[in-house]
Chain A
């Protein structure tokens, strides 16, 4: 679905990422992990063509720069780390997700309405539709922005630290939603919480020392101790309902 070959990003003389190569598989959740400042969000900005990069980023086998802006927006939906607070209703914001498909007249087709409606149902945001986004709490805002990204109906969804502003309850339902999304979409999710990553991801890509330290199956990187080594954490395994849950805590 998405393949990176020797990608490098620099801000002036400061090198953020070098020789980053990995690929993510279709209809799976891949967690992108790394410490603060390891270049995760910079990589998302590069995929969004907001910052220059070296190397090659391929989407569905084609260089991402070869797509038009609209084509790219119909293939990749991104929930960014910082959610703004515009003075528009949540309903209007969710409709923005259909922008890449609209003609100049701006009229919605039946398909657009269906995608918007599905996104609202999936994210359970119907009660928020008439409220202005700048009056919503951080967690609610994150939900309506996710609804906007889902209404974009792209095969690849990138979520940059989506649960930052959420309490434990909202976080759990959000993580379940991410898992449901992977039924018909490929999901790349930037995460800080290793326990949550172990819970929902099929694969993991770990950034360390400005490059990829691990890329592959998430279970494998947990059992081999890679996560513990890189993040200096300890692991505790808990069995519940026949399933093993990995809980990571700092020293």
Chain B
């Protein structure tokens, strides 16, 4: 296929995804325990007078949730793309290599030991995620720096941090209650104000990733080739790890531990684009936003009035996909 044809397909895919995101966002604002029409939505959004109840629902409940869903989709899928690229391992994701549990551990430590400083939770989550990733990368290097060692080191680290989280939860029932919700992942009660710092971090990480996408792509050739093509491999890895940790940790700070988004979305994006890393990053951001928004919508409406947290819905969708990947990979390798 010539370059023109290929770029047309890529652009068409992007246009479809943007339309799908707009449609999903509208559905997310309209549907819920209190139903409203499109006209009511528009009036509630733009003419607050006379539509107080609708405005309150939109501005205080549904819009924050929608923003949280979109941010989570972008942040986690970006983290997944970066980690899968720099490790050249298609099973790498923020959850599997301990970013989520690192952030979770740091958050629960803060909640237990320094509850008065709860407002620095996003920063504690960031530090936990980043340190956890560094430790796993270091352990993997010590163990021989093979693809499997990263996953194994990640599993070990996850278990260790998981044990720490469980231990602290045991000591304080209030912390345990907070942690249960935190570990499932969800957007209930999220406020626009608490999304501002994570949004800034995620957008900055996204821009850095887009700028570096050409160099990130060369990592798939291995360190020796990347270096001889002008990439400062160690520096690039460090920048990517910082961006992957920061974006995933930002999501953890307001959404808890959302699994599988970072793992499955980059694969869907690669399937849809067939393009380079830049196309995978932008497509992942769109697909991630759509998937998380849909999962949240499904969780809110499918079993209404009971709300199923988005983390459960994502795990229900993600686990079978993960198994298909494993089985598909084995067949390919056989």
Contacts and interface: CB of A to CB of B under 8 A. Distances in A.
B1 A130 contact: yes
Contacts, number: 61
Interface string B213-232: 11101101111110111111
Interface in B176-201: none
A238 interface: no
Helix, strand, loop or mixed for chain B's interface?
Answer: helix
B276 interface: yes
A26 interface: no
Nearest to B215: A99
Nearest to A102: B214
Interface string A76-95: 11101010101110001100
- Report, as a range, how many residues of chain A touch the other chain: 20 to 34
A56 interface: no
Contact of A84 (B211, B225, B232): B225
B15 to A, nearest CB: 21
B231 to A, nearest CB: 7
Helix, strand, loop or mixed for chain A's interface?
Answer: loop
Given A92-B276, A96-B218, A99-B215, A48 B224 contact: yes
Interface in B41-70: none
B214 A49 contact: no
B237 interface: no
Contact of B211 (A72, A74, A76, A104): A104
B220 A106 contact: no
A49 B227 contact: yes
Nearest to B232: A69
Contacts of A76: 228
A50 B232 CA distance: 10
Contacts of B276: 92, 106
A69 B220 contact: no
A88 B228 CA distance: 19
A57 interface: no
A163 interface: no
B225 A100 contact: no
Nearest to B90: A87
Interface in A213-232: none
A50 B230 contact: no
B236 to A, nearest CB: 10
Given A106-B213, A106-B214, A86 B220 contact: yes
Contacts of A86: 220-221
Contacts of A74: 230
Interface in A37-83: 45, 48-50, 69-70, 72-74, 76-78, 80, 82
Interface centre among B220, B223, B228, B231 (most CB of A within 10 A): B228
Given A70-B230, A96-B218, A45 B224 contact: yes
A152 interface: yes
A97 interface: yes
A69 B218 contact: no
Nearest to A130: B1
Nearest to B225: A80
A88 B220 CA distance: 9
Nearest to A86: B220
Contacts of A69: 227, 230-232
Contacts of B231: 69, 99
Contacts of B229: 73, 96-97, 99-100, 152
Contacts of A78: 224-225, 228
Nearest to B1: A130
A103 B218 CA distance: 15
Contacts of B225: 78, 80, 84
B228 A99 contact: no
Contacts of A88: 220
A73 B213 contact: no
Nearest to A44: B224
Contact of A50 (B215, B218, B227): B227
B278 interface: yes
B304 to A, nearest CB: 43
Given A48-B227, A73-B230, A77-B228, A84 B222 contact: yes
24 contacts: A45-B224, A48-B227, A48-B228, A49-B227, A69-B232, A73-B229, A73-B230, A74-B230, A77-B228, A78-B225, A80-B228, A82-B224, A84-B220, A84-B222, A86-B221, A88-B220, A96-B217, A96-B218, A99-B214, A102-B214, A104-B214, A106-B213, A106-B214, A152-B229
Given A49-B227, A69-B227, 4 more contacts: A72-B230, A96-B221, A99-B231, A102-B214
